[in-house]
Amino acid sequence: MGKSRKEQAESAAEPLGGRIRQAQRAHIIACAERVFADHGFGVATMSRIAEAASLPKANLHYYFGTKLLLYRAVLENILTLWLDDMDPIVPENDPAAALGAYIAAKMAHSRNRPHASKVFAAELLHGAPELRAYLGLDLRRKVAEKSAVIEAWMARGLIAPVDPRHLFFTIWAMTQTYADFDTQMAAVLGIDKLGAADYATGTATVTRLVLRGLGIEPAGETMKQQRRTA
């Protein structure tokens, strides 16, 4: 009856399984994320995902059961990344530094995980049928908590008064647009795809709008930004 050493650290939500299972699931999720991002849930097909993963279609069903379950696995995988970016926003920190770090982290995600951002965006666009619970509980709680920090800063006169929730909405919008709508940006800029310089300019622009918008200076060494005061 004693558990063998097989299951080393079985937590609540079955994170383990054999070493093969873990690796294959991760691989399939990564490939599925790309396909879902490129085509949307409806146009994406299990065959296409299978092809992207270099596996037979039946194998995907062996690991995930149904297309919807695979899609949910992709979404959950994404959510684990998202929330932690807000960590620097605590009362003790300097507003400029904290918000600057938050914006930088979000922009980095837009650059490094564009597919994740797109899948998330598409899910929200269509009413978030699979994420309603997460949005109304975990995210809502997190935003309430961090909004209190923003309000504390406002009360101490460190930043100008704004609605903290809408401040987050606009920061999310500006940072994720660099992942979600990169196609539009590239077309407008007349280039094939965004490069490091574009993300740097984007980060500078977003940082400037948010910090100056809140009446504070881009604290210390933010970025090699043009500094020519009239």
> Residue 65 Cβ, how far from its own copies at the closest point, in Å?
19
> Residue 9 Cβ, how far from DNA at the closest point, in Å?
14
DSSP 55: S
Query: To the nearest 5 percent, what fractions of the chain are helix, strand and coil?
Result: 70, 0, 30
Site for its own copies in 93-152 (CB under 8 A): 118, 121-122, 124-128, 132, 135-136, 139-140, 143
> Residue 64 Cβ, how far from its own copies at the closest point, in Å?
19
Backbone angles phi, psi at 127, to 5 degrees: 95, 5
Provide the token pair at 152.
């504390």
* Residue 45 identity (one-letter amino acid): T
26 binds DNA (CB under 7 A): no
Whole-number Å distance between alpha carbons of 28 and 60: 7
Site for DNA in 78-117 (CB under 7 A): none
Site for its own copies in 32-51 (CB under 8 A): 37-44
18 binds DNA (CB under 7 A): yes
62 binds DNA (CB under 7 A): yes
User: Which residue, 24 or 202, is less far from its own copies as judged by CB?
Assistant: 202
108 Cβ contact partners less than 8 Å away, ≥ 6 residues apart: none
65 binds DNA (CB under 7 A): yes
Whole-number Å distance between alpha carbons of 78 and 74: 6
Site for its own copies in 152-211 (CB under 8 A): 157, 160-163, 165-170, 172-174, 176-178, 180-181, 183-185, 187-190, 201-202, 204-206, 208-210
126 binds DNA (CB under 7 A): no
Whole-number Å distance between alpha carbons of 61 and 66: 6
